[in-house]
Amino acid sequence: MKKTITINLAGMVYYIEEDGYEVLKQYVADIKRIFAKQEGVEEMVADIESRIAELFQDRLHKNKEVVTFSDVEEVIAIMGSPNQFDEDFDADEQEGADHKSQQESTQQHESKRLYRDTDEGMLAGVSSGLAHYFNIDPVLIRVLWIVLVLIGGSGVLVYIIAWIAIPEAKTTAQKLQMRGQSANLDNIKAFADSVKDEAKTGFSRASKSVKHSLKKSNSALSNIARFIGRIFGFGMFLGGILGLVFLVMFFWIDSSIIYINNEVIVTDLSTLLNLFFINDTLAAWLVFVVSAIPLIFLIITGGMLLFKQRPKSKGLILTLLIIWFAAIVALSVLGVKTGLEFKETYKTQEKIQIDGDYSEISVNLFEDDMMITYAMNFDFDDNITIEEDKIKLGYINVQVIPTKDSLFNYTVERSSRGESLKIAKDRAEKMQFEIHHVDNVLNISTRYIINREDKIRGQKIHLKIHVPVGKQIVLNGNLEDYPIHVKMNSRFSSDFVKQSSRWVARHDSMKFIEFVTDEL
């Protein structure tokens, strides 16, 4: 049975055997005595105590809660004897003990640990820390970040995650472990000496001398990597500046949108966002911030690679990151609120009969006031025209199907969405769509109008033209790219409507008869 003592070592409480405590107490006292004239002795002793505490912690477990005398001897053997640094110490007297200590210290191999190296890093030290861990040039890591940013922006997110997940190397022991060096007394003393040497030569960071002492001559691969890094830096710097200029122009300068009728519509991004978001001003600023900050990072990173400079203010970069994340969160919340306005769907149908016992009807489609002919080649993509208080949308979907009714008729289906069924119904009923029939000619507008205050909420127009069995329909114009569908037994092909065409209704489908050269 042995007496134990409670000690506080590097902020941790340990139970230690009394004889082990006496040896440890003398060991620390020798360190303080021998290194009393060493600059930064207090910090060095604190690092040594932290390393001792770490080694003690490795030797404790669930069934062992007390540091024993043998544990203390093992740790001292790993750390090394401070007497080797004593000018009055007779080395011959302790040669055997020191040799044993060195052997045990050598046997205790210190594996590398991953830390962020903020002393040598440009931003958060992630690249420098990874370079130490994998024993490669940090320029290669930085080039990899750039490639990840350029191929989709994932590099920014991965870097931030690494920044948060990887701890910073703050103490001397951690900086030595980061380089794969054992955190023993010799290396800690060497590090402390480097602090003193650099203070005399005007260097501001102690780790630089360690870096210079360990750095090998630059290899050809490193030189190539630096050259590639500078090329990437130039591209990023120039691309970031041009991107920022175009972004500002896009957000704050009116842009002209030209439509097929040679009608010029002048609008800006705020107006476009107003068509979708519930708060267009807030949405415009959030989209601008989310888009601009990555471009600013691109300029900063490119400048650092190109001019070999470190950021002057890490606080500014951290602030930009916080603002960027906050803008993304706010934009997501705004997007969710806007998405709730698509919650309910309402559809309404109106059936109109064409009076008269006609054997054939002719269908004309109009793009605004201009009829589409077979000689025209329109590009029927989704289209938006913004007017003062109206929004003109396109294109309506047209279906041609047979019917058992004796007369031609057509059905107009209007659909819209809203946060409630009532609002969706109101939006659907307010949609403006023009379709006229004179005798056996059906004139259809390909586009429809909604009020700007209703915003774009999934408003659609579907038109179904019903052809009595045995009767015919002529579809005028080149409708190859138009959203039209004719019900057939086989797969419908747009080749059937690449010019004016005649169809006949059968019991279960429409049958193509011929192309019409002269339009009705």
The lowest-confidence range among 38-52, 347-361, 405-419 is: 38-52
Choice between 167 and 194, residue whose per-residue pLDDT is larger: 167
What is residue 399's predicted lDDT score, i.e. its pLDDT? 96
Contact indicator for 116, 124 with CB cutoff of 8 Å: yes
The answer to whether the beta carbons of residues 273 and 288 sit under 8 Å apart is no
Q: Is the pLDDT of residue 12 over 60?
A: yes
Distance CA 227, CA 397 (A): 56
**CA–CA–CA angle 217, 221, 225 (5° rounding):** 110
| Across 58-81, average pLDDT | 81
Work out the angle at residue 178's Cα, subtended by the Cα atoms of residues 173 and 183, and round it to the nearest 5 degrees: 30
CA–CA separation, 517 and 73 (whole Å): 105
Peptide bond into 395 cis (omega under 30): yes
Instruction: Kindly list the domain boundaries of the chain, sorted by start residue.
Output: 4-107, 221-341, 343-515
The confidence score (pLDDT) of residue 98 equals 46
Q: Are 427 and 348 in contact (CB under 8 A)?
A: no
Task: Give 116's Cβ-side CA count (13 Å radius).
Answer: 17
Say how far apart CA 464 and CA 390 lie, in whole Å: 26
Question: 138-149 pLDDT, tens per residue?
Answer: 777 777 777 776
User: Is-contact 442 362, C-beta < 8 A?
Assistant: yes
Once rounded to an integer, what is the mean pLDDT over residues 292-319?
76
Give the whole-number percent of the chain exceeding pLDDT 70.
72
Lowest mean pLDDT among 106-120, 294-308, 311-325, 370-384: 106-120
420-434 mean pLDDT:
93
Quick one: average pLDDT of 268-289?
80
pTM: 0.54
Confidence of residue 206 (pLDDT cuts 50, 70, 90): very low
Burial of 504 (0-12, 13-18, 19+ CB in 10 A): middle
Look at residue 476 and tell me whether its pLDDT is greater than 90: yes
State the average pLDDT over residues 111-136: 78
What integer pLDDT is reported at residue 40 of this predicted model? Answer: 61
- Coil, strand or helix at 451: strand
Residue 150 confidence (pLDDT): 63
The residue ranking higher by pLDDT, 311 or 164, is: 164
pLDDT at 273: 76
pLDDT tens digits, one per residue of 208-221: 444 444 444 445 55
Residue 177 pLDDT exceeds 80: no
Q: What is the pLDDT of residue 262?
A: 42
**Cα–Cα separations (whole angstroms), residue 23 to 13, 72, 85, 461:** 18, 7, 19, 90
Q: What is the mean pLDDT of residues 469-495?
A: 93
Determine phi and psi for 362, rounding to 5 degrees: -115, 135
Between 70-79, 166-175, 247-256, 302-311, the lowest mean confidence (pLDDT) is in 247-256
What residue ranges in 10-59 does DSSP mark as E strands? 12-17
Q: What letter would DSSP give residue 218?
A: P
Q: How far is CA 342 from CA 276, 432, 500, in A?
A: 11, 20, 38
Q: Please report where in the chains the tokens 């830390």 appear, as a residue.
A: 115
Specify the pLDDT at position 369.
80
309-351: pLDDT as tens digits: 666 566 777 888 889 889 999 989 998 998 899 999 999 999 9
The pLDDT of residue 366 is 92
Q: 24 and 49 in contact (C-beta within 8 Å)?
A: no
CA distance 297 to 124: 14
Nearest-CA neighbor of 462 among 366, 395, 397, 367? 397
Helices (H) and strands (E) in the chain, counts: 15, 20
Q: Is 74 exposed, middle or buried (0-12, 13-18, 19+ CB in 10 A)?
A: middle
443 DSSP 8-state letter: E
| Both tokens assigned to 400 | 């041609």
CA–chain centroid gap for 60, Å, is 43
Give the pLDDT band of residue 264 (cuts 50, 70, 90): very low
pLDDT score recorded for residue 95: 46
